[in-house]
Amino acid sequence: MNNEDAMHIPKVVRRLFPKLSADCDALVAREQTLNERLAGLSQQLQALDAQNQTLDAQRLALEEKSDSLEGELAALREIEQKVQQIDTQNAALQESVEAADRIISEQHALRTDLEARYEALRAEADAAIEERDAAYQKLEEDFKKLQTVSGELEAATKSLADVTQERDAMIHAVQISDAKYDALVARWDAYRLPSVVITTMPKSGTYYISNYLSKGLHCETRVISNQYFPYDTIRYSEIKEASLGSYITQDHFPATPPNTHFISQFFDRVVCHLRDPRQAMLSYVHYLDRFKGGDDTFSLIYPRLSDDFFEWPIEKRLDWGIDQWLPLLVEWTEQWVAFADGQKDVNVKFTRFEDLVSDEEAFTQEILDFYGIPAQRFIPPVLKKDSDVHFRAGLIDEWRTALTPEQQERATAQISPQIAKRFDWSLEL
């Protein structure tokens, strides 16, 4: 029932049923209120629909914006990774810069050291030039001396040849008198010199010493052993011939019982020439370069060399020298020291390569005095120290720069303090 229906309710009904009429009016009023509220709710619903449409549009816009933001976020993450890579590269670059600074500092120190070495070498070169000039001056004096005595030498040589020829003729003559023969023998003995027997450590100046003495004394050189170090053995026939006199022997024979027995049978003295074994070993390793061709001599070298020995780097070849060759040199030296100190039949004179280098004249005079040879019988020859006499460099302690610190320790450990002290070979590194 609406308002219009309520208005048409008969008045008589209203009077008869006042309460009912009031209830109907109340219902009509309530219905009107509900209709108004329904209209309001309808308007609100329409407004909500409009808001929903707006929100849907905003949601779509937000979804699009979210997709856009996710793309930007991915890009930002890539940028962050690149920034981290750049930081890593910057750290590496910083380390490189620090390393470069250290290298520059080391180069500066090295340059300073090289400049100091240059100055030292220059001073040594100046000193060497002065020594050379002094040597030239001495050479001129020796040459004048040689010219002075050359006439005497020629006369003596001729006299010696005449005496030798006369002696040989008289020995084979049937009707020779003993008195005249004895006189000729006496004249021969006056010219004859005792043979100088020298055994040398390999690569200690062997060929130079023997040539220097033979030319200075006008004696022949003679090999009295089989020349196979370290098992060099004296040959009876050769040492017997050398005992006749006027020979200079050049050998490397060790002090083994057979060798010392032969020496004691024919000689009462012998020279044993030594060199710091570390330097002799170094010189021998360089000397082996002569056998690069691989001829028959190469196969005879002892200790046996590897077929690719000459392809090894120098440090490995020096390791071979320290392990294989140096022990033989040390043992050879110890044998001769033991022989010299353990008997009195043979007088052993030890000479050193270091003394030959520092004072050749005094070195030679010691040998002459040891064999009782008059100084005037020796005329110093002009002899170059080069490859012709197996003379490579003639250095004393080249091993200190040629060997690594570890190699120096291994090599030095093989030399006993007693041997080192006796021959003044430093064990300090």
Domain extent listing, the chain: 3-73, 194-422
The model carries a pTM of: 0.58
Question: Which value, in Å, is the radius of gyration of the alpha carbons in the chain?
Answer: 56
In percent, the amount of the chain with pLDDT more than 90 equals 47
* Chain centre distance of CA 368: 40
pLDDT of residue 174 exceeding 50, the answer is no
Residue 409 burial by CB count (10 A; 0-12/13-18/19+): exposed, middle or buried? exposed
The answer to whether 276 and 396 have CB atoms below 8 angstroms apart is yes
The answer to whether 318 and 400 have CB atoms below 8 angstroms apart is no
DSSP assignments along 137-179, one per residue: HHHHHHHHHHHHHHHHHHHHHHHHHHHHHHHHHHHH-SS--HH
Q: What SS3 state is found at 334?
A: helix
- pLDDT score recorded for residue 4: 52
What does the alpha-carbon distance between residue 293 and residue 174 come to, in Å, rounded to a whole number?
A: 58
Higher-confidence residue of 29 and 276: namely 276
- pLDDT score recorded for residue 171: 59
- Reported as a single tens digit per residue, the pLDDT across 206-216 is 999 999 999 99
> Domain 194-422: which topology?
Rossmann fold (3.40.50)
How far is the first Cα of the chain from the last one, in angstroms, to the nearest whole number? 131
- Reported as a single tens digit per residue, the pLDDT across 94-138 is 887 788 788 888 878 877 877 788 788 778 878 877 877 777 677
The model's confidence at residue 317, banded by pLDDT at 50, 70 and 90, is very high
> What is the rounded average pLDDT of the residues 346-374?
96
pLDDT of residue 370 exceeding 80, the answer is yes
